[in-house]
Amino acid sequence: MRIKCLFVIWSLERGGAERFLAGLLEHLDRSKFDPTLCCLNWKGEWAAPLEAKGLKVIALEKKGGLDLDAFRRLKNIIKEGEYHIVNTHLWAADVMGRVAAFQCGIPVVVSTAQNVDVWKKWHHRAVDRWLAGRTDQLIAVSAAVKEYYHHCVGFPEEKITVIPNAIDVERYRDPGDIGYLYEELEVGAEDFILACVGRLNHQKGHPYLFQAMKELSGTLPELRILIVGEGEDRTRLEAMANELGIMPMLRFTGQRADIPALLQLVDALILPSVFEGLPLCVLEAMAAARPVIATDVGGTAELAVDGETAFIVPPRRPEALKDAILRLRRLPDGGQSMGARGREVVGREFSIQNSTKKTEKLFTALLKGKL
């Protein structure tokens, strides 16, 4: 008998949690598991490749706020599918999916926590605590996420399992020709190019990076930073860049489908986040043998080691970001040895194959004796 699993998320649009889930679904052992994906809203860009491989993807087209019709349809999907396990990802799906699964009497309910969610207010945490009694296991993507959900939310420690975010390492080894990027992004081989990859919102800390760039504009004129991603703060960030006079140093690229090629173009990744879980973009940079400059938040320091594969700095400190950029620029080998060590770490500890096997083992153990 194959284990029938329903995975619930808002959509498979571009993002770290979405990318990880897509990789997990792609690598699940189909001889043992029968997965279905339910997107509360639209399917998103990463749904099509999964559908091409025979995975069923359902889009509920949920409206904003409370949508009882979408909730009823989700319950019908769960009942008709006779699933053994429901696994939810990210806040909206986490709440709606777990409540629906509990009401439908699903044998095993699993929530995956992707972030140290410091944005959550008392009422969000109260909902999380209530749902903890209706959840068989919480998968935390890092030790920092586990710590947050146990101590700050009150989730029982024995019901939390750490399974790290992971990527398909081979995808980043040889992305092919990257020559087209120089012309498209208006950068040169002589430039010192960094990539900042992530949604353009408060979490990612772009204003602190921009303030650091302002300080570097006179001493490091060859600095170029690619701002990769979209989000609600884009207009505000562009206005800030113009006000600081650093727009010529920046390239707002929007969403990109060619991240492996982009990472081969740049000298390093920089991530000035104010909170994180276990950022996939850091794993991607390490897999591409690129050094990392990142803030010491969430699980970032669990995968990128200061002075070995990365420069780890305090959050909300433009001066610290500026100093790290200068340190990297002054390294005799440009950080190549740091990047090489990073690739070894990712291949050994953060491959999607390893995390998928851990997830399969957990699901099987949780279901034992419940059928």
What tens digit of pLDDT does each residue of 49-105 get?
999 999 999 999 988 888 899 999 999 999 999 999 999 999 999 999 999 999 999
CA 313 to chain centre: 20
> What average pLDDT does the structure give for the chain?
95
Backbone angles phi, psi at 223, to 5 degrees: -70, 130
- CA 156 – CA 133 distance, rounded (Å): 9
Q: Is there a common fold for 3-166+351-367 and 169-349?
A: yes
Residue 221 in this model has a pLDDT that exceeds 80: yes
Helices (H) and strands (E) in the chain, counts: 15, 13
What's the topology of domain 169-349? Rossmann fold (3.40.50)
What tens digit of pLDDT does each residue of 300-336 get?
999 999 999 999 999 999 999 999 999 999 999 999 9
Taking the CA atoms of residue 305, residue 310, residue 312 and residue 317 in that order, the dihedral angle to the nearest 10 degrees is -170
Q: Would you state the pLDDT for residue 13?
A: 86
What mean pLDDT is predicted for residues 228-251? 97
For residue 98, give both structure tokens. Answer: 């777990």
What mean pLDDT is predicted for residues 249-254? 97
- CA 110 – CA 87 distance, rounded (Å): 5
Terminal-to-terminal C-alpha distance of the chain? 11
Q: Where are the domains of the chain?
A: 3-166+351-367, 169-349
pTM of the model: 0.89
Backbone angles phi, psi at 341, to 5 degrees: -65, -35
Pick the CATH number of 3-166+351-367 from 2.40.10.340, 3.40.50.2000, 3.30.360.10, 3.40.920.10: 3.40.50.2000
Facing residues of 162 across strands?
140
Q: Would you state the pLDDT for residue 46?
A: 87
Question: Do the Cβ atoms of 292 and 264 come closer than 8 Å?
Answer: no
Percentage of the chain lying above the pLDDT 70 cut: 100
- CA distance readout (Å), 69 to 37, 44, 60, 264: 19, 21, 9, 46
